[in-house]
Amino acid sequence: MSESNIANLIKSKVSLAPMAGITDYVLRSLVRTYAHDSLLTTEMISSEFLAQNVKTEITKLDDAHHPISYQISGHKPHLMKNAAEYLTQFADIIDINMGCPVNKVVKGQDGAALMRNPRLAQELVKAVKEGTNKPVSVKFRLGYTQDEMNYVEFGQMMQEAGAEFITIHARTRKQFYAGKADWVKIKELKNNVDVPVFANGDILSVEDAVNCMEASGADGVAVGRGVLGDPTLVGRIEHYFKTGMIIPPPSLNEKLDMLRTHLDEEIRLRGEKVAIKFMRKFYPYYISGIRNASKIRAVMVVEDDYDKILEYIDYIRKENADLDIINS
């Protein structure tokens, strides 16, 4: 596919980065409410898992989600090809995860482990391209360790294999999410490949997005953890890049409304019992900065009763009525 067709899909300078167990159908829908043109990305889908479980809520799609990238992981070319063939019916772009630092992923030779095996990584790109007529992208890191920062050569090899879009997290695998993302290093990659490059890592505000673009020279930014507790962030960055105007972060009342919507929609998707447990990871972000946050958080993350959770939300609203803006 030509670069012009990629440009038709990547209409915004900001995207939603993939996060396992986070960027599900519901969160993507919330983000899309505020971000009209930005590329959304699904949570990581294991090609091994998909081969055994074709029916999964991970693939659930709403027409409003387009443009959307479906991210797959794996290290077996035939399974990656099969996954691409299946997901083509949903996706605008097929993305390959070559950056996940989690131990169980890396030990299985997936994710960031592929940065130590660039030839296999190339075979995966080629296999995925055989399985789809959609553009293929890759997401990777600076390298496996500080002494193995091969991101420029790796990016060139992925482009050579047929990747048409790159997202790079500006940390090594060894760093996980510690320290500060080194946006400046991305500039060298951008100067040595011909495909669009989006920078990822530590994009927690509109100001971060602007600073990252200036430091990296990237074509755009991919926002991950910044949307936790603030589904508006991608949209606010999108709006700034289009208009130069900054929309302020959501107020506490707005965030609590989003939390309620998030909870109710997860229940609609997963059922009440599963959804309430799934949502526990999100509560700390939605209520960050409130009075007695740690005590309220400790109670909410063990609560199984839906009505009780709503009571906590109402309590937070009343006890913090004078707080206008709560930063996530």
The pLDDT tens digits of the residues spanning 266-308 come to 999 999 999 999 999 999 999 998 888 889 999 999 999 999 9
In single-letter form, the type of residue at position 36 comes to H
Taking residues 73-97, report their average pLDDT: 96
CB atoms within 10 A of CB 51: 15
Taking residues 84-104, report their average pLDDT: 96
Q: Do 102 and 32 fall within a single domain? A: yes
- Find out whether 94 and 72 touch, Cβ atoms under 8 Å: yes
Residue 321 scores a pLDDT above 90? no
What is the reported pLDDT for 227?
A: 98
**In the beta sheet, which residues pair with residue 96?**
72, 138
pLDDT in tens, 139-156: 999 999 999 999 999 999
What is the reported pLDDT for 76?
A: 97
**Phi and psi at residue 241, to the nearest 5°:** -65, -25
Task: Give the total number of structural domains in the chain.
Answer: 2
Cis peptide before 135 (omega within 30 of 0): no
Q: Do 71 and 197 fall within a single domain? A: yes
Could you tell me if residue 328 is inside a domain? no
Residue 223 scores a pLDDT above 80? yes
Q: Assign residue 206 the CATH number of its domain.
A: 3.20.20.70
pLDDT in tens, 37-73: 999 999 999 999 888 876 667 778 889 999 999 999 9
Q: Domain containing 314: what range?
A: 252-319
Residue 212 scores a pLDDT above 70? yes
- Find out whether 68 and 92 touch, Cβ atoms under 8 Å: yes
Q: Do 230 and 257 fall within a single domain? A: no
Cα within 13 Å of Cα(101), Cβ side:
15
- pLDDT band for 245, please (50, 70, 90 cuts): very high
- pLDDT band for 128, please (50, 70, 90 cuts): very high
Could you tell me if residue 54 is inside a domain? yes
Q: Which of 16, 40, 100, 290 is catalytic?
A: 100
Of 243, 264, 291, which closes a domain?
Answer: 243
What is the reported pLDDT for 1?
A: 36
Could you tell me if residue 280 is inside a domain? yes
Q: Do 61 and 149 fall within a single domain? A: yes
Could you tell me if residue 62 is inside a domain? yes
Q: Do 228 and 264 fall within a single domain? A: no
CB atoms within 10 A of CB 251: 13
CA distances in angstroms from 134 to 189, 324, 328, listed in the order given: 24, 44, 35
**Phi and psi at residue 166, to the nearest 5°:** -130, 135
Euclidean distance between CA atoms 92 and 109, whole angstroms: 26
Instruction: Say whether 100 is catalytic.
Output: yes
